[in-house]
């Protein structure tokens, strides 16, 4: 795996980038400065939609714990992956995340690059986001739970909730 730049640090502003969300048949381009403004968000990033750990554990944990997350004071739960908006919407519908988790598409890894969480995972997977969870308040990173490669320990919904 090759990581291109240092990962964003606690206390830093979320970088400016364009993400995409598909809803009602259209794809909306959203600026991160607007998406994260004036709210408290838990954002997970993961290697890809429809992948094994992401589909079986990571995203489902946040869907299952959504009410606990909202009670803890969060306005949004977001899931970021280096996939296009069509794939992210389809995966969100399959996972029953619609209306619970915002499925953020980062098709060219621009946002992942700016966050310093993009990684090249070889010829079959290509460029992806590393698995992590971030607590973001008013556009500022407050906590980050970065996984070691091939791990799923610290970015789970249960671990993040216990660490708040």
Q: Which residues are catalytic?
A: 54
Q: Can you list the alpha helix ranges (DSSP code H) found in the chain? A: 32-35, 52-53, 59-64, 66-71, 85-94, 110-115, 122-125, 157-163
Is residue 110 helix, strand or coil? helix
CA gap 7, 25 in Å, rounded: 34
Other CB atoms within 10 Å distance of the CB of residue 84:
17
């Amino acid at each position: 795996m090759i990581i291109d730049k240092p990962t964003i640090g606690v206390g830093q502003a979320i970088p400016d980038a364009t993400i995409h969300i598909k809803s009602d048949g259209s794809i909306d381009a959203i600026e991160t400065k607007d998406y994260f403004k004036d709210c408290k968000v838990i954002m997970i990033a993961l290697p890809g939609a429809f992948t094994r750990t992401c589909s079986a554990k990571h995203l489902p944990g946040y869907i299952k714990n959504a009410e606990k997350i909202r009670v803890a004071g969060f306005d949004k739960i977001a899931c970021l992956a280096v996939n296009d908006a069509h794939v992210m919407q389809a995966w969100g519908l399959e996972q029953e995340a619609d209306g619970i988790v915002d499925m953020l598409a980062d098709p060219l890894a621009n946002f992942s690059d700016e966050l310093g969480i993009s990684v090249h995972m070889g010829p079959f997977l290509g460029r992806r986001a590393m698995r992590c969870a971030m607590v973001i308040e008013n556009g500022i990173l407050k906590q980050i739970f970065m996984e070691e490669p091939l791990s799923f320990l610290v970015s789970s919904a249960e671990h993040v909730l216990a660490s708040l």
